[in-house]
Chains A and B, each alone.
Chain A
Amino acid sequence: MSGKNAKSTTLARQERSFLRFTVGQRWEHAILLLSGLVLLLTGLPQKYREFSISQDLLSTPEQIFLIRQVHHIAAIVLSLLVMYHVGRILVLMSRRRLPGDLLPTMQDLRDAWHMLQYLLFLRKDKPRFGRYNFEQKVTYWVVFFSVAIMGISGLIIWFPVQMTQVLPGGVVPAAKLAHSTESVALAIFIVIWHIYHVHIERLNLSMFTGRLSEEELRTFHEKEYQRLANQSGEMK
């Protein structure tokens, strides 16, 4: 704002913003974020029991019960979210209205290769991305499969007796291992990949505001910008 003198105001291009995420999608993200955070915070002390803070948290049967109860409630919330998300995908698919923007394509591999060359100073230009770039697709799919793994393994260690009625007993310790390891892997992934890209590389709050400015869309999702431009041109 400070640099907004008279001259720049007169020369400023008209800026518009574009809807990137619907209110529903933003709510999904917010619930995912909150339930995931609660799950992580109540799960970590159960995994890393050698730390004194974990031992303080889990020092009585009542506290163990409480922290597990919170973990289970957050898990139910997340499960409902997953059901809504997958259900919505199925409904949209049945109506042939599911946008395929998030599906991985060969172009993503080419973009990743291009990006690597750019990062190695072998190319001067960044790849031109569509609605979602390969980094964002990786984020979505890693979270998708991690949540699936943790949901299934979590159910197994929550209900070991019922689950072993049909499954071999060995899946219980395997699920316990997968559940705790996957959670830490996902947490590290979120920090080094997702948080880096939306906070450090550039502050991208479109998942909360729902919108991308024209400038951002043009800079970071050029193909999408052109597609929209062409679309509105045709409509015109």
Chain B
Amino acid sequence: MSGMSSSAPLPDGLVAVVKQDCPTCVLVAPVLVDLADRSSITTITQDEATFPAAADWVVHDADLALSWHNDIVTVPTLLKVENGRPTERIEGWWREKWEAFTGVADLGADLPDWRPGCGSLSVDPNLAHELAVRFSGSAMTSRRIEIASLEDEWEAMHDRNYSDGLPVVPPTEARVLRMLEGTTRHADEVVAIAPPDLVECTVEKIAINAVMAGCKPEYLPVVIAAVEAVCSDEFNMHGVLATTMDVGPILIVNGPIRNEIGMNSGGNVLGQGNRANSTIGRAVQLIIRNIGGGQPGGVDRSAHGSPHKLGLAFAEDEEGSPWDSFAQSRGFTAEQSTVTVWCGGGPTIMVDQLSRTPDSLVRHFAKSLLTNVAPRMAMMETVLVIGPEHMSRFHDAGWDRARFIEELESHLTIQTDDIMRGVDGIDEGAAPEMAGRVVPKFWPGGIHVIHAGGQTGLFSMAFGGWIPPPKGSVCTTKEITR
């Protein structure tokens, strides 16, 4: 709120603040007229200029400056004012208190004894942030960009090269201020050094891009934690951008915040239709683009890209999973909210509608996974999104996460002689010095398993990976804090 700015002095004496769109104010209107007759009062009206009367003791607070600067939260409010500042106040209608406050007896004899007031227009959620920007000036330090009245503000965001190709919400000060309420961190706090330009990435700059992506304020802590993760040396965002492969950051959210902000872990989990899923990943991509300076054709050299590079975030279905959560498998507790960032390409489906035993299903998964990225690639990394119907096979047989991965890995070994250069008439393949060896399709620790998806459908999904650690990108989990 305002902190009692000195810019809006009130008239000394008794002051009432009202609005016509408040039944209690309408109820006390005759009392205010009575006070004007029998005593002296200034009435400040927030909406109708002639409420409660067309009179010289009624002042219209059209821009709400008086209300905002004097911290009016309820109407009616009665104030005692000295030297332009309120010294005492009471809120709502309470005959006994009004009589004591004003020193005038027999007020509103036909009114009920007590009625609560209504919210002041100056704290209306639809107006509060505009007023805060207008009257307090904001502490935000980003350059102000004025979009001329003849310019379409949505087009202007594209014209200035701030967009990923889809419309972005124009980040007005009021919208960014509202976004910043999603975190307790200060706007000027540096969260990370953003690649590829290696520039300071502040909470304010993150909030601006989160507004543009379409995030709600409650998503901001997830975006901030994800930015910390993708900007870490381990994740290697510069390399993730610069590679000619199709990869980008994929965000997996665990813990209580999934449900608090309404993320989707069920039907269409990797698709469209959920605001949090759709905008959190997009915000991270916009941050790398706009703050870090990583743009397609610039440091982003991907040959094909992938639809998920617009941004991909999803939640794990922890409640429906028989296993510990993905975050728990990475050392966090069920009470902690986390975001894990992993560098991957687009997902492919693994269909199996007939397996009734876990052994049959992992064998079939392995057949699919041996072609992950390319059949000749070994020592890779993947994220598997196991659908609920597939998961029930493992649950029924009592397999836990460790057993699943162990059984799956047992079917994911490759005889290098089968993938040597020239074998089957294919030039691509393992180098001659690799002959006669057995290698895993995925490096040990390179299979990450998430439970998510619709209740119906005997399908799971597998993402293609990139260069495994330590040379490429390290799957990185950060706790989400407000």
Q: Do A and B come from one complex?
A: no
